Structure 1
Amino acid sequence: MPEDLITLITALANQDSENEYLEFKHGNTDPNRIGRDISALANSAALLGHTFAYKIWGIDDTTHELIGTAFNPKVAKVGNQELELWLRQHLSDNAEFRFESVEAFGKHLVLLRIWPAQYRPVLWQGLSYIRTGSSTQELRHGSKREEELWSRTRAEVFELQYALSGLTDDEVLGKLDTDWYRQEFGIPQTTPTEQTLHLLASEHFISIQDSGRYSITNLGALLFARNLNDFPTVSRKALRVIRYEGSSPIAPSRSKTFDFGYAKLDQMLEYIEALLPEQEVIQGARRITLRAFPHTALRELTANMLIHQDLSITGAGPMVCIFDNRIEFTNPGRSLVDVARLLNDPPHSRNEKMAAICRRLHLCEEAGSGWDKVVLDCEQHHLPAPEVEEPGDNMRVTLTRSTPYRELTREQRLDAAYWHACVQYAQRLPMTNTSLRERFALPQSGASQISRLIKACLDENLLKIADPDAGKRYIRYLPYWA
């Protein structure tokens, strides 16, 4: 049996008394009592913000002396059913617990480890229970405590949940790239292990357990994992990049999954850019190689895809698909902002703690300017406007290679005009026939084409005239919502 389990039980036995998240028993193994206690301890742990709750058999609840127990949850039954299966059938599906047995100091002990309630209170046979001191009681419906418990469980943050637990100092340093962490935050590489662990805990990358060992949070794993495959809760969140030949998703030519943490965004970006289609152009006396897509737009879309994905969606992760004519960025989770207002609405981050750390790492700004940069970069390089889709529970942004105006579809022209009006509005600049013509790199002779495009946008209610009384030469345009 792992030594840390003995250490944990010893540490719990040394506490002054039973409390809202800790109970000792000698021989009371009534299944209904165990079920009620799981509900009460899970809910109390959530209410108090504790990492786990515990019920231990084999410890005197008065003296805390280790006296042992004959209880064996692995063979205990209720009727013809195994105890654990019976308990799970009568508990709500958000209940999580584990029986662990250990021989310690010549005594047989059983520890029931209970996870805090998540998303809603844990119910036993349809009722919710809570602890008051060392007593279990039904949680009164409509009470202040029930209201607070609902608030706490709804605010459960995936980033702070545990990816791995029961780790020693060396195991934490082996799982997390602490050298990269110190480099990125300007911490001397000679910083002692104890101080490094303290800093990691202060950032919520790790947490100290009741046993004295450590847990690595999902946040720590996502950002600084040496290998995300070591962390089952986030292993599917590793970035995958696929390069296809031509413009069809039928024949991938190569793919790569980045198993390290998101803090190494620049390494991911270097790989993506190396796979991009290229073209050679003559500038003056030199032959210049240009990649099909601009760096700033690629960086912003890659960072946003990683940081703002919906981490609660299991079995799916961020993905970049590169074709000869386009590049697609797909992440789990639909946009928290109306896609038509991405450029001008206030920023809204799905994963606030990760976004805050990434801002300090200079991977994002948390200022809502990411989409502005993407649109501006596309305009400056005369690319079609980025296309935004929400297939199922995902968000996909597609960048298309530079395309002459005559070859753009009607939808691409309308989208480009709308986003140009949005970015001009954000910069407190007017959108005019001239500004839109320059966005498409058309000469003066193309003014009539742009006039027809603007009329189509007005007909589709994408744009509106800023001042209806202005003369024809001075007409300015705004997004429809301005």
Structure 2
Amino acid sequence: MALNRSELISLVDRLRREPNETEWLEFKENWHEPQVIGEYFSALSNGACLAGKSRGYLVFGIADATHDVVGTNFDPYAVKAKGSQDLLLWLSVGLQPNVGFETHIFDHPSGRVVLFEIGAAWDRPVCFYGTAYIRVGSSRTKLAKHPDKERAIWSRRTDWSAEVCERASLDDLEPEAIAKPREQFRIKHPQNQDDQAAWDDKTFLNKAKLTIHGAITNTAIVLLGKPEASSLLSPAVVKISWILKDAQNHELDYDHFGPPFLLQVDRILLRIRNLTLRTLPSGTLFPQETSQYDPWVIRESLHNCIAHQDYGLYEGGSMSWRHRARFCYRIWGVLSRGMLRP
């Protein structure tokens, strides 16, 4: 779900308050060559990883010396890259691995701003067409010249889902959500059903590896937590957005779903228009009816949104239904443009 104008203005103003440009933040007054922009994408992504940030930022329309908004006429949708390719597509293809980036163009009260948000490198350096870059001071340089930083990026991998949510307790979990996996656990492990009947919730959750010695993990909050428990995971955003759009990509309706995600999948499915298609096979007057989408496919896509979302980023997963029968699933931190299902 895109940030609105006021949120973008607040974000840029917060970035402008940084005392200096950093390894994850770069201000530019106006347009630079496509190759330079791509190198900055790589450098800022790698720098964000080293700084423990979820994103790097490249902002056009800001004076790098004073951080004043001066405006820019740079239009990333109009500029062409090498071989007359669209700039954004060319940049996306060049990022390896593609950590994804978001493009925002908006009017700040002091001038027009173009903001790129680039996902942080995860467990390996991000290269741009085969070369990795890094910011050192105010200079952009090749990462290979700084083996200590490169080693640090390779070693930066944490499993957010397995981390303990220090402020959470069993009272923050939804009893109905706990009951559902207990039933499935009983079906999968019929050999010790008598023992399972004596387990309290704490014992069961330890057995199911949703808690660690009774400590509530982030996964437990995402799957089983009460709606209000999502605030315990802040600044992570635990949310799936359903958005209905028309053929011109205008939003017509929306709904947001939070924990417990284990129960929300069925509720989200009720919002999806899965039309009944009728075909007339040869040799009969009786039409055959079938769903436009296999419900299993939709459910599996929703499960992917939940399981593979990078909750450390500022947005939750989103799912759009567009006229002309197209789904778009967006999983932040994994898929930059979503999976389109014709």
TM-score by structure 1 length? Answer: 0.38
2:158 matched residue in structure 1: 156
Cα distance change of structure 1 residues 135 and 263 upon mapping to structure 2, 3 Å threshold? same
**1:379-425 residue CA offsets vs partner (Å, 9 max, x unmatched):** xxxxxxxxxxxxxxxxxxxxxxxxxxxxxxxxxxxxxxxxxxxxxxx
Matched-pair contact (CA < 8 Å) for 1:41–1:54:
yes
Q: Does 1:105 align with 2:109?
A: yes
Aligned match of 1:68 in 57, 66, 71? Answer: 71
Question: Match of 2:127, as an amino acid?
Answer: L
Q: Distance in 1 between matches of 2:180 and 2:146?
A: 55
Task: Name the SS for the 1:19 alignment partner.
Answer: coil
Q: Which has the larger radius of gyration?
A: 1
Matched-pair contact (CA < 8 Å) for 1:160–1:204:
no
CA drift of 1:54 comes to 0.9
CA-atom RMSD in angstroms: 4.2
Q: Distance in 1 between matches of 2:217 and 2:180?
A: 26
Q: Distance in 2 between matches of 1:24 and 1:134?
A: 11
Q: Distance in 1 between matches of 2:56 and 2:210?
A: 31
Task: Name the SS for the 1:76 alignment partner.
Answer: coil
2:129 matched residue in structure 1: 125
Structure 1 unmatched runs, 5+ = 162-201, 206-219, 225-260, 278-290, 309-346, 362-482
1:37 matched residue in structure 2: 40
**1:67-107 residue CA offsets vs partner (Å, 9 max, x unmatched):** 11011112222133211110111110342211111111151
Matched-pair contact (CA < 8 Å) for 1:38–1:114:
yes
Question: Match of 1:100, as an amino acid?
Answer: H
Task: Name the SS for the 1:29 alignment partner.
Answer: coil
1:88 matched residue in structure 2: 92
**1:347-404 residue CA offsets vs partner (Å, 9 max, x unmatched):** 999x99548999xx9xxxxxxxxxxxxxxxxxxxxxxxxxxxxxxxxxxxxxxxxxxx
Q: Distance in 1 between matches of 2:59 and 2:74?
A: 11
Q: Distance in 2 between matches of 1:275 and 1:143?
A: 47
CA drift of 1:6 comes to 0.4
Question: Match of 1:136, as an amino acid?
Answer: R
Q: Distance in 2 between matches of 1:58 and 1:66?
A: 6
Q: Does 1:50 align with 2:53?
A: yes
Cα distance change of structure 1 residues 306 and 93 upon mapping to structure 2, 3 Å threshold? same
CA drift of 1:122 comes to 0.6
Matched-pair contact (CA < 8 Å) for 1:52–1:114:
yes
Higher RCO (C-alpha 8 Å, min separation 6): 2
Aligned match of 2:207 in 295, 300, 304? Answer: 304
Q: Distance in 2 between matches of 1:89 and 1:37?
A: 15
Task: Name the SS for the 2:208 alignment partner.
Answer: helix
Q: Distance in 1 between matches of 2:140 and 2:150?
A: 15
1:140 matched residue in structure 2: 144
Task: Name the SS for the 1:77 alignment partner.
Answer: coil
Cα distance change of structure 1 residues 30 and 296 upon mapping to structure 2, 3 Å threshold? farther
1:295 matched residue in structure 2: 197
CA drift of 1:271 comes to 8.9
CA drift of 1:304 comes to 3.4
Q: Distance in 1 between matches of 2:183 and 2:26?
A: 57
Q: Distance in 1 between matches of 2:185 and 2:144?
A: 60
Question: Match of 1:67, as an amino acid?
Answer: V
**1:196-225 residue CA offsets vs partner (Å, 9 max, x unmatched):** xxxxxx9578xxxxxxxxxxxxxx9xx99x
Q: Distance in 2 between matches of 1:65 and 1:266?
A: 52
Q: Distance in 1 between matches of 2:58 and 2:133?
A: 15
TM-score by structure 2 length? Answer: 0.52
1:264 matched residue in structure 2: 174
Q: Distance in 1 between matches of 2:98 and 2:154?
A: 13
Structure 2 unmatched runs, 5+ = 188-192, 226-342
Identity %: 30
